[in-house]
Amino acid sequence: MKRSILVGGLLLALVAANSFAMSTDEAKMVSDAAVRGSASAQVLLAVMYKNGDGGYSKNEQQAAYWYEKAADQGNPYAQMALGDMYEQGLGVNQNLKVAADWREKSAKRGNVQAQLKLGKMYLTGTGVVKNVNQAEYWLNRAAVAGDSEAQFELNKLYRDPNWAKHNPALANDWLAKSAAQGYEDAVAFVNFFEHLGFEAKEDLSQRPPHIRQLATDGDAEAQYQLAMRYEHGIGEKHDNAQTMYWLKLAANQGHVMAIQSLIHIYQQGLDGNAVDAAQAQVWQDKLNSLKK
């Protein structure tokens, strides 16, 4: 019983931090419990292998193995984590369909991160047949549970004038909720629109601020905001090439948020770009030079 309580307590710490220090004795206790079939212990063992914690060398294949053991028992955290590994090809052959399948299992069991990620997959048709209504369903589940990114994604979805469920008022409600939680993109848009004299109740997609001329004239803040519009499809049609074009113009003028965005994009391989550590470092060096 004491071992079960310890494993359960460690699992709570895992969910909170996703990385932890563990003594050799604790790690052995977890390993023994995992072998005996404890799903919680299997998750902990998977995390130790994934991160190289608890005296274990980093081993993504073993991490995937133990995540799958726990996932097969219905553990929603393991199902979500296994979906991530299949999406990224960590310890397993990359398979977006399998990633979506595991995320759906986790999402149905109430895992908010799985609901968010599954919703985004349905939005883009990644690993699943594109289905905006399914995207709405899963994003709404996560948003109602309080996920600020899901709230922002719903804001974009309801703001799309080409969608049958176009609802600017509902879009603004979700935007406000996301911004109230400090979600960076939501805060940036709310602040920018308020700066230009918009009321929160207005349909921002119907009356976009005329920032293009400012951006073309060389205003770095306008260039950054125009990039954000293209990235998120608010006021402009989503366009990765235009996102990168305007971000780089702003970043080359020393706009800190534009530089940080480029670092993140190249580190994570976002907005149609491959992961590029060299480019990420170029922009990191530029950011560091601004701080001197």
Read off the pLDDT of residues 228-239 as tens digits, 9 standing for 90 and up: 878 877 667 888
> CB-based contacts of 151: which residues, under 8 Å, 6+ apart?
143, 174, 175, 177, 178, 181, 183, 186
Return the pLDDT at 18.
52
Mean pLDDT, rounded, for 242-247: 93
Question: Is pLDDT of 57 > 70?
Answer: yes
Q: Of the ranges 45-54, 109-118, 211-220, which is most confident?
A: 109-118
Choice among 31-40, 85-94, 213-222 with the minimum mean pLDDT? 213-222
134, burial (CB in 10 Å: exposed 0-12, middle 13-18, buried 19+): middle
Looking at mean pLDDT, say which of 134-148, 221-235, 263-277 comes out highest: 134-148
The average pLDDT across 108-119 equals 97
- Supply the pTM of this predicted model: 0.66
Q: What is the pLDDT of residues 11-43, one digit of tens each?
A: 544 444 455 567 778 888 889 999 999 999 999
Q: Which residue has the higher pLDDT, 135 or 167?
A: 135
- Mean pLDDT over residues 167-192, rounded? 87
Residue 45 has pLDDT above 90, yes or no: yes
What mean pLDDT comes out for the span 41-59?
Answer: 91
Least confident of 124-128, 171-175, 206-210: 206-210
How large is the C-alpha radius of gyration of the chain?
22
- The mean-pLDDT minimum among 196-200, 213-217, 222-226 falls in 196-200
pLDDT value at residue 193: 66
pLDDT at 292: 64
Of 88-92, 133-137, 196-200, minimum mean pLDDT range: 196-200
Higher pLDDT, residue 100 or 184: 100
pLDDT of residue 222: 84
Confidence of residue 1 (pLDDT cuts 50, 70, 90): very low
Sign, CA dihedral 132-137-139-144, equals positive
Indicate the pLDDT class of residue 116, thresholds 50, 70 and 90. very high
Q: How confident is the model at residue 166 (pLDDT cuts 50, 70, 90)?
A: confident
Predicted local confidence at residue 5, as pLDDT = 42
What is the residue-averaged pLDDT of the chain?
85
CA atoms within 13 A of residue 186's CA, in its CB half-sphere: 24
pLDDT band with cut points at 50, 70 and 90 for residue 109 = very high
